[in-house]
Amino acid sequence: MLVTGGAGFIGSVTTLALLEAGHDVIVADDLSNSSKHAIDRVESLARESGAAGDLEFHELDARDDAALHDLFASGHITSVIHFAGLKAVGESVDKPLDYYRVNLGSTVSLVTAMRDHGVRDLVFSSSATVYGPEAQSPLREDAALSTSSPYGRTKLFIEQMLRDVAAAEPGWNIALLRYFNPIGAHPSGLIGEDPRGIPNNLMPYIMQVAVGRRDELVVFGDDYDTADGTCVRDYIHVLDLADGHVAALHAIDRFHGCQAVNLGTGTGHSVLEVLAAATAAVGKPLPFRLGARRPGDIAVTVADPSRAAALLGWSATRTLNDMCTDAWRWQSTNPFGYGD
């Protein structure tokens, strides 16, 4: 099978899970936001665990039609997971064209190559960001969709594009997996999240405070209508998310066209709860201060995960403490990530 973006945070952990489940995996990644070391580590972890699948890596841009054609022409690809893309909400406001070019462009090229080579099974990385502020948590897949950033719009447009593709021709099985807040790392401490520059997301920021790369966490707003006043999110261990992809792939025949499925735990945690759990995992106080709200943040975003349980036979099992313990193992042993 083909995994685009398989060197990234979620892609690397998922590639390992696929190899362990016995799949042969071809990773296509241009390394624009990741490191080749991640692939090398996936390969050695797979070998150590006696994984049955084989890994092949291609450094390529997922918009390169000719390169995609050559990959599919090998005849070994029967299904695809498409992680490749740009993902920083704030950056997408400043550089919308980059987001439209990469996220939409890669999906058009990829799905065209799939169609041309008779491959019809696709798992796509969508996001809880497609649920509008008016939608009420716990969010079901049929909640109102709308989004406020160019990044979010690329996900909404791609979802619609894939629905159109599936409607135009029978035989497609497309899973739109809407991730909530993936955090944590592989329990080995060898593969994890390695953001470039200042982290946008809460857990990598906390972890960089913990290793001394940042002075303090700023908690964005403590006057929301929640129990402690800080925003509540549905954090999910990246290993649970990876298992969710394997489950989606194994259940792909049940999709009959194009369907959306939430990948979340169904449980919300506030920013201060995450900070407390991370502090316990790290074992020392982490400096923080309360600051202003971040524009665009919604008070509560939590999944209704029942569809994933029914359709995929999958549900998340790991706790917030597991997520913090594994994130800390990764960050403390790799304070500067993959180091390149």
Q: Residues interacting with ligand NAD, by CB under 6 A?
A: 4-5, 7-11, 29-34, 61-63, 83-85, 87, 102, 106, 125, 127, 179, 182
Residues 83 and 5: their CA atoms lie apart, in Å, by: 5
Q: Does 286 bind ligand WQD (CB under 6 A)?
A: no
Residue 204 contact partner, candidates ligand WQD, ligand NAD, none, CB within 5 to 8 A by sort of partner: none
The DSSP code sequence of 183-197 is E---TTSSS----SS
109 binds ligand WQD (CB under 6 A): no
The structure tokens listed for 83 are 């992680």
Residues 232 to 251 in contact with ligand WQD, rule: CB under 6 A? 233
Query: Which residue in the set 12, 127, 208, 331 belongs to the binding site for ligand WQD (CB under 6 A)?
Result: 127
Query: Which of 15, 106, 173, 181 contacts ligand WQD by CB under 6 A?
Result: 181
205 contacts ligand WQD (rule: CB under 6 A): yes
Whether the Cβ atoms of residue 144 and residue 131 lie closer than 8 Å to each other:
yes
CB-CB contact of 277 with 183 (8 Å) = no
Render 40-106 in DSSP notation, one character per residue.
Answer: HHHHHHHHHTT----EEEEE--TT-HHHHHHHHHTS---EEEE--S---HHHHHH-HHHHIIIIIHH
Q: 């070391």: which residue's tokens?
A: 37
> Residue 263: in which H helix or E strand, if any?
strand 257-263
- Rounded to the nearest whole angstrom, what is the least distance from the CB of residue 40 to ligand WQD in the complex? 26
Which is nearer to ligand NAD, 9 or 172 (by Cβ)?
A: 9
Asked if residue 138 has a cis previous peptide bond (ω within 30° of 0), the answer is yes
- Least Å distance, CB 92 to ligand WQD, is 10
131 part of the interface to ligand WQD, by CB under 6 A: no
Counting contacts by CB under 6 A, is residue 208 touching ligand WQD?
Answer: no
Quote the CA–CA distance of 172 and 177 in Å, as a whole number: 16
Phi and psi angles of residue 244, each rounded to the nearest 5 degrees, phi first: -60, -35
254 contacts ligand WQD (rule: CB under 6 A): no
- How many residues line the site for ligand WQD (CB under 6 A)? 18
Structure tokens at 11: 């892609």
Q: Which of 79, 188, 201, 315 binds ligand WQD (CB under 6 A)?
A: 201
How far apart (Å, rounded) are the C-alpha atoms in residues 266 and 310? 14
Q: For the CB of residue 13, give the shortest distance to ligand NAD in the complex, in Å.
A: 9
Q: Nearest approach, Cβ of 78 to ligand WQD (angstroms)?
A: 27
Q: Choose the contact partner of 202 out of ligand WQD, ligand NAD, none; CB within 5 to 8 A by kind.
A: ligand WQD
**Tokens 């991730």 identify what position?**
179
Tell me if residue 151 is catalytic: yes
Taking CB within 5 to 8 Å according to partner kind, which of ligand WQD, ligand NAD, none is near residue 219?
A: ligand WQD
Chain residue at closest Cβ approach to ligand NAD = 8
**What is the smallest separation between the CB atom of 116 and ligand WQD, expressed in angstroms?**
29
Question: Are 181 and 9 contacting, i.e. CB atoms less than 8 angstroms apart?
Answer: no
Q: Residue 285 CB, nearest distance to ligand NAD (Å)?
A: 26
φ/ψ region of 50 (left if φ > 0, alpha if ψ in -120 to 50, else beta) reads left
Given the residues 151, 179, 205, 224, the one annotated as active site: 151
Any idea which residues carry the catalytic annotation? 151
**Footprint of ligand WQD on this chain (CB under 6 A)?**
87, 89, 127, 129, 181, 200-202, 205, 217-220, 231, 233, 271, 294, 297
